[in-house]
Amino acid sequence: MFSPYYKKSGRGDPLDHCSLNVALYGPNARWAMTERGRPAVSRDASNLVIGPSSVRWEDGALTIDIHEGDTRLFVPWQRPVIGRVRVFPEALNRVAFALDASENHIWHCLAPRARIEVEMTSPGIHWGGKAYLDHNRGAEPLETGFNTWHWSRAHLKSGALVCYEGERGDGSLFASALRFDRSGVPEPVDLPPIAGLPDSKWGIGRRTRSDIGVAEVRRTWEDTPFYARSELASRFLGEDVVAVQESLDMRRFSSQLVQFMLPYRMPRRKR
């Protein structure tokens, strides 16, 4: 949905504009997002192949085999990004939610709670921990439907909480908080108070929700001209939590400058 090539093509054939995005943070940071054309893409009910990488359901886990190369500004060669990620859902949710009245934009939190195993051979790192899995689909460009959005999620002692809010393309506002129980069943809950956050280094406005109206940015993982992803210390439903938060500005995304810059971070190959 962020592909400059797809946008330029008039958004005719989505299968001709596919990529697997891999972001590793910390001392072994890597960023991979190479777009590939239709000849490099195949899929069926349980498998998706994008170039040398693939995604499949296997033994109850979403298994992602990664064979990519990283992209860095002003660096002409790529470092390999190779490994396997397995996501084991602890709870599954079958209910999808429309983010607008016309149902042009659908969000589906597939696994509000999950466990993850990461085994990378390049760079040579591995770990396990908590995870989350969701899915978005739409019938119109994202920048048509939204100006901004803010999203956050956190594991609770029993279940998980997801907050979603923003401004639609027509200027109307939306906001919701969903608590998922241990089996994945969603239930709307009262929105916690707004907790303001400092802007990202690129000037992206960030905000989240917290019981006490206060949250702290522990780390900013992704800081781009139109998108920021952060780790927060917050409080939801009476529990101190570590939350993942993202803020997106689609007006920035649509600017000529960002569209010019994107191909340097997202190269395209036919195969």
166 - beta bridge partners?
Answer: 149, 174
The per-residue pLDDT for range 93-115, each reduced to its tens digit, is: 999 999 999 999 999 999 999 99
pLDDT digit string, tens, across residues 227-246: 999 999 999 999 999 999 99
Handedness of CA 211, 217, 220, 222 (dihedral sign): positive
Strand 35-36 vs strand 268-269: parallel, antiparallel, or unpaired? parallel
Query: Do 158 and 256 contact (CB within 8 A), yes or no?
Result: no
Token pair for 22: 């891999």
| Beta carbons of 209 and 256 less than 8 angstroms apart | no
Q: What are phi and psi of 10, to 5 degrees?
A: 90, 10
Q: Give 103 or 74, the one with higher predicted confidence.
A: 103
Q: What is the pLDDT of residues 155-188, one digit of tens each?
A: 999 999 999 999 999 999 999 999 999 999 999 9
When pLDDT is averaged across residues 36-46 and rounded to a whole number, the result is: 95
pLDDT computed for residue 164 by the predictor = 94
Contact status, residue 34 vs residue 48, Cβ threshold 8 Å: no
Q: Which residue has the tokens 């939190």?
A: 109
Greatest extent of the chain over all pairs of C-alpha atoms, in Å: 52
* Tokens (6 digits) for 26: 């910390």
* DSSP letter string, 187-203: EE-PPPPEEE-PPPTT-
The more confidently predicted of residues 270 and 250 is 250
Residue 178 is part of which domain span?
Answer: 4-269
Q: How far is 132 from 90, CA to CA, in rounded Å? A: 9
Number of domains observed in the structure of the chain: 1
